[in-house]
Structure 1
């Protein structure tokens, strides 16, 4: 179904999602602009795996497009409409490079927003920094995307994978101090960062890890890896995988009769895309971490921010899953970009955008968990640095324990 302001074009170039293509009405006051911005328009580029092994994440870009449609209906940002151009990269870094070059050199976007994938963002980072084009709020928690000295045009958004790994280590040492840990991880900076954080958190107890098994995103299944981890004698299974492989692993654990304590990376804690395909009963008891309110949790039914999210989904993305964490994620990161662009006023130059992205102070948004906020500086390119543990009860995720910040994680011995 084609929305009033979205045009979907399939072909070798990928998928083009253009919010606000036909612009009219009064122009905003003349301002300072770099390519991709004008008195009436802001062009934003994006890459996403609409196809390939991580295509479950395509709903993120579709939600972003829907949010910009909503924004345009409300008058845009400081009177300027958003033109959102998103191309399919098939979760292939070489394709990401090709599509990003097109966005910068042909489409002349003002900035890249939420390009998805760890290896994919690494592949385009040097190019974008060389061109001085913002690579803003990338869709990965790899620690390497918070390095303003080397890459001043690249900024992360979600909590780092290292922090996630440290939190799991803390929980295990407190609750299963004699655990034998087996880790399945994607063989890139995503998987390696969670594993690194786990080892950092365990410290001199790192020998609790009895087996680690990487997998490639191009392989069909992770069945053999799961079998290998069971054979190691591990009684804790840490599943650091993207949705397709995470679901396969959970299902395989059940099929082979392995009954470890399971911990699932929060990038794949989506009920409909991961836990339901794996089996809700099979998934019961799995642990993970969170920084967003669970859109499928009835405890938030009367929450004003959640009501606004549901209304947005009903009107602008009715085909989307309102209970999907991925859609809540996209909704919230879109609000973060809107905050930054509003602060820029009439100066929509790339350097000015990065200045405001790097000067957020205690920004709260409706779907962040209570007690969480975003703060950045010229030396801190990690907007969200807080997490909370949660457990799947067969129907929904139940949060427990305190919200843990990056300051808590700096000292591995701190409770």
Structure 2
């Protein structure tokens, strides 16, 4: 099989070795496995994940015993550290609940995190250390740039990277990146829903101002929006980079556009809202990206400038009154309390909890599969996963197949109320999964 990740095997092996300071290129057997040199069990005939490009195919199929380690390369320092820390704390809490219930057939779950300060090159080095020094069985990361730096090495090592916090389409390609999945909704899918709403609101078309972050994550949103408006009467009349939010707001206001779309990352949401407010601009429609969903930190400080801003949501907010009697939210809060956790009721914590929940589901299904709880078994489970996390909004599911790796294909639109200091639903769930059959 000739594909991108196999073509990069030679270079990837060198990079992995350089990252850990050693000369060995093969991924090590699990340190939790005392029979590291024993013959690995044959993979199931139903396996959907190839091992022919693995540096060590036998190690990929070795049973995981004792402790299953999930390694994160994450921005534990810098402007994203608070949000990232909340996500990781949420995952640790979900794992704590699983461990209290006996783990995965007696195998306990552990999170190992290394700081990359949102620097892709540091993330690349972290992956070598997480695999070689820490002996992790599963990886994850934050950011499209980080995923871009990691994916070739991680696929060559055949260590599953599950639910990466990125949204660009490249790594949803199971042929070129069979050992990688993304969690955040596809930027193309999210922007397709956004544009569908704009078409309903502005049937004769509308002029749009686009604020775009220059990172891969931001460009993924921008390109997704541009693709979604092709052939429509919706036009981008001005685009400005978010390197300086104040300059962007001034430039975009001058365009006269009725709609402002933020193709940004988490740190842009509040900054752009504040800049728009300082510019005295009140766009008729202001759309924020789905990664900017925490009302307390990203909308409330902007006051009236954030009022009415729209966002697509897939997670339940435990602090929103509309979920006060929701069984999933009640269980979430009870589980946190049982673990003695006093985590803030923000969507970053819920996000981490849900990623942990998705992993627990994949691990459980892997353990019950012919491949067992192994890296191969876990990846096969993740490639065929259909699940409704209790903290997903009702009507929104997680679904991945060997030929479709979008995961989230439905959203519920919300708008921020500055007066009530909460998000208010703006209609029912919009499911576009039929477009990706």
Q: Is this a same-fold pair by TM over 0.5?
A: yes
Partner Cα distance (2:213, 2:133) in 1: 33
Secondary structure of 1:43's counterpart equals strand
Measure how far apart 1:244 and its partner are. Answer: 2.3
For 2:302 and 2:64, the matched residues in 1 are separated by 48
Segments of structure 2 that go 5 or more residues without pairing to the other structure are 1-19, 21-31, 33-39, 42-57
The offset of 1:153, in angstroms, is 0.6
**Which of the residues 155, 173, 179 maps onto 1:147?**
173
Q: Is the 8 A contact 2:262 2:287 kept in 1?
A: yes
* Residues 53 and 91 in structure 1, CA contact (< 8 A), matched pair in contact too: no
Aligned partner of 2:164 in structure 1 is 138
1:389 is paired with a residue of what secondary structure?
A: strand
Q: Which position in structure 2 is the counterpart of 1:20?
A: none
C-alpha contact (below 8 Å) 1:34/1:348 kept by paired residues = no
Residue 358 of structure 1 aligns with which residue?
383
Partner of 1:89: 116
1:272 and 2:296 equivalent? Answer: yes
* Aligned alpha-carbon RMSD (Å): 2.4
Query: Residues 408 and 401 from structure 1, CA distance in 2 versus in 1: closer, same or farther, beyond 3 angstroms?
Result: farther
Moved over 6 A (4+): none
Task: Report the counterpart of residue 76 of structure 1 in structure 2.
Answer: 103
Cα separation, partners in 2 of 1:98 and 1:213, compared to 1, 3 Å: same
Contact 1:63 1:317 in 2 (8 A): no
> What's the counterpart of residue 288 of structure 1?
311
Partner residue in 1 for 2:355: 333
Aligned residues of 2:161 and 2:181 also touching (Cα < 8 A): yes
Q: Is the 8 A contact 1:75 1:81 kept in 2?
A: yes
CA distance in 2, matches of 1:371, 1:140: 23
Q: Do residues 127 (structure 1) and 153 (structure 2) align?
A: yes
Question: What's the secondary structure of 1:277's corresponding residue?
Answer: helix
In structure 2, distance between residues paired with 1:194 and 1:46: 24
CA–CA separation in structure 1 for the residues paired with 2:119 and 2:167: 18
- Number of the residue aligned with 1:112: 139
Q: In the alignment, which residue of structure 1 is the partner of 2:256?
A: 233
CA deviation digits over 1:196-253, x for unaligned, max 9? 222222222366211112335xxxx522122211122222111122232210110111
TM-superposed CA distance for 1:38, in Å, is: 3.8
Please give the secondary structure, in 1, of the residue aligned with 2:239: strand
Contact 2:75-2:115 at 8 Å conserved across structures: yes
After superposition, the Cα gap between the structure-2 partners of 1:316 and 1:232, relative to the gap in structure 1 and judged at 3 Å, is farther
Structure-1 separation of matches of 2:209 and 2:298? 20
Question: Cα offset for 1:101?
Answer: 1.1
C-alpha distance in 2 between matches for 1:386 and 1:317: 33
1:314-393 matches, within 5 Å, as 314-316=337-339, 318-322=341-345, 324-345=346-367, 347-361=372-386, 363-393=387-417
> Matches of 1:169 and 1:38 in 2, distance apart?
45
Asked whether the 8 Å contact 2:309–2:415 carries over to 1, the reply is yes
Q: Is the 8 A contact 2:205 2:232 kept in 1?
A: no
- Quote the offset at 1:301 in angstroms: 0.7
SS at match of 1:244: helix
CA contact (8 A) 2:172 2:180 kept: yes
User: Hey, what's the Cα distance between the residues in 2 that align with 1:96 and 1:170?
Assistant: 36
Contact 1:134-1:354 at 8 Å conserved across structures: yes
Which TM-score applies when normalising by structure 2? 0.80
The answer to whether 1:247 aligns with 2:273 is no
Structure 2 match to 1:98 = 125
Match of 1:3 in 2: none
Once the 2 structures are TM-superposed, how far is the Cα of residue 316 of structure 1 from its aligned partner? 4.0
Alignment coverage as a number of residue pairs: 375
Over 3 Å counting, the alpha-carbon distance change for 1:207 and 1:306 in structure 2 is: closer
Give the whole-Å Cα distance in 1 for the aligned partners of 2:318 and 2:170. 29
The separation in 2 between residues aligned to 1:67 and 1:234, in whole angstroms, is: 44
State the distance in 1 between where 2:221 and 2:267 align: 18
Counterpart of 1:27 in structure 2 is: none
* Paired residues of 1:91 and 1:117 also in contact (CA < 8 A): yes
Q: Which runs of 5+ in 1 are unaligned?
A: 1-12, 14-22, 24-30
Whole-Å separation in 1 of the counterparts to 2:322 and 2:330: 12
What displacement does 1:311 show? 2.4
Say which is worse superposed, 392-401 or 80-89, in terms of deviation. 392-401
